[in-house]
Each structure stands twice: as structure tokens, then as C-alpha cells.
Amino acid sequence: MLAHMTLPKILLIALAAVWGNTQAAESSFCGRSLGQKFIEYVELPCPKGVACFGMWTRREIQIEKLLDGPAVGNRITVARIQHGLFNAEFDASFSLFTVKPIDDKAKRDLLGADYLLVKFANGEEAQVCGKSQKSSSAGLSASETQHIPPASD
């Protein structure tokens, strides 16, 4: 059965199986992240007595090829909650994205983004984007970190 199928068709079938079906309002596409930053002025509600580590982040994405869902333009700004920023090399390695529009205008204005980033991938999951990629490390190099000595008594 697979003998008559082209490689792009096989990859799209594999994408659907691994990536899952995109919801009606969501768009999946190949692209690249152009940078990320914390949205410092937006705090997440955190119940008393609970350790909360997430923060809103915003990134700009350049769209190269729409795979599924409504068109989103050539360059978009997305927001998501995550625990920290990725190092630049790891962030730039992502090429497969799924976003959904932020329907609430007040939330769009607050976050400075028109879409929420639902999923993103690099490496093998992103092969449908036609790039030979390897997954990069999300960790920071020694030159990007600071050692904070323990407090002295």
C-alpha cells in the first residue's frame, strides 16, 4: 500500500497520527521562532500555599507553510505559559507549530498577541516541515548561567 505513496503524503499521514488532529479554530504550520520574552506585567493567579512557577511568554513566529486550519498570515505573535525561557538555539530549532486565536480582545491586548501557542515541536516530530533537524538541548550553557552561592548564616 505504501509503495504508491510519495514521501510528503507518508509524512502527512505520520504527522496526523503523532501530532493529533487540529481543532477547528487551530492552525498548524511550519515556521520558525524569531525570539521569545517574558510578559512581566501579567501575573498568573496563584493560590495561597501553592508554589507557582509559570509565567506568560510571548514569541514572534515566521510562517513558512500552512499545514492545516485557517491561514494566519506570514508573521504572528503568540503567547503561552511556560516555566522559563528556552536558550536561543533551542527556541530557534522549533519548526512545527499549532496555534489558536485569542477571541477575547481584552486578553489579546493584555498579552500583546493574537494567538495562543498550543503545541510546538522540533526534531523528528517536525520532519513534515522538510528540514533535516536534530533536537537541541533546552539547557543553558555555562556562559549563560550564574552560580548563586548559598546564603551564609
- Kindly list the averaged pLDDT for each block of 10 residues, start to end, along the chain of length 153: 48 42 75 89 84 87 93 93 79 86 95 94 82 46 42 45
What pLDDT, on a 0 to 100 scale, did the predictor assign at position 90? 75
What pLDDT, on a 0 to 100 scale, did the predictor assign at position 141? 45
What pLDDT, on a 0 to 100 scale, did the predictor assign at position 82? 84
28 burial via Cβ count (<10 Å: 0-12, 13-18, 19+): buried
pTM of the model: 0.67
What pLDDT, on a 0 to 100 scale, did the predictor assign at position 43? 82
What pLDDT, on a 0 to 100 scale, did the predictor assign at position 9? 46
